[in-house]
Amino acid sequence: MPRDAEADTVAEYIRHVLRLKGNVARFGQTLTWTSRSVNRRVDITITARGGKTIIRADEHLGTLAGGLYGGLVGGLSTGGLATGIAIGIGAFHSGTAALGIALAFVTASYGLARTIFTTSAESRERELKRLVGRIAEQFGG
């Protein structure tokens, strides 16, 4: 567990690595760093218990998921429905073609959002794992 003098150093180190502003709280043998920025919600907890130091990093990905799925699926699907109807009815004179084109847009936009979300979530997980490892190395966790 970092001493009081080291607690500020830990907090600054976390801010530097994550490039996020955060708040530090200390309660007993637990030091908590929390960021509630618009884009990321991250909690890092360092607890001394039974002669061991436990370092835990959590990130809430609801904002990322909501932005990607809402923005991409909602936006592209709406555009895809309009395009599907215009092309299907206008060019092919077919409601079935219109539905097929619209469904292709919805499916593609969902796939794109899922791919971006998965890639971003995995990248953030690796970043937090590296950070926890560095904190453990530097501060004896």
Q: Are residues 128 and 101 in the same domain?
A: no
Nearest partner of 40 among 125, 129, 141, judged by Cα: 125
Alpha helices in 1-94 (DSSP H): 4-18, 62-68, 74-90
In the chain, % of residues over pLDDT 90? 68
CA dihedral 58, 42, 134, 32 (to 10 degrees): -90
State the CB neighbour count (10 A cutoff) for residue 87. 16
Q: Are residues 13 and 44 in the same domain?
A: yes
Q: Are residues 54 and 82 in the same domain?
A: no
Q: Are residues 58 and 8 in the same domain?
A: yes
- pLDDT interval class at 140 (50, 70, 90): low
Q: Are residues 57 and 85 in the same domain?
A: no
Nearest partner of 55 among 44, 69, 42, judged by Cα: 44
In the chain, % of residues over pLDDT 70? 95
Decide: pTM greater than 0.75.
Answer: yes
How far, in Å, CA of 117 to CA of 112, rounded?
Answer: 9
How many domains, the chain? 2
Instruction: Write the pLDDT tens digit of every residue in 27-82.
Output: 988 999 999 888 899 999 999 888 888 999 999 999 999 999 999 998 888 888 88
Structure confidence at residue 18 (pLDDT): 94
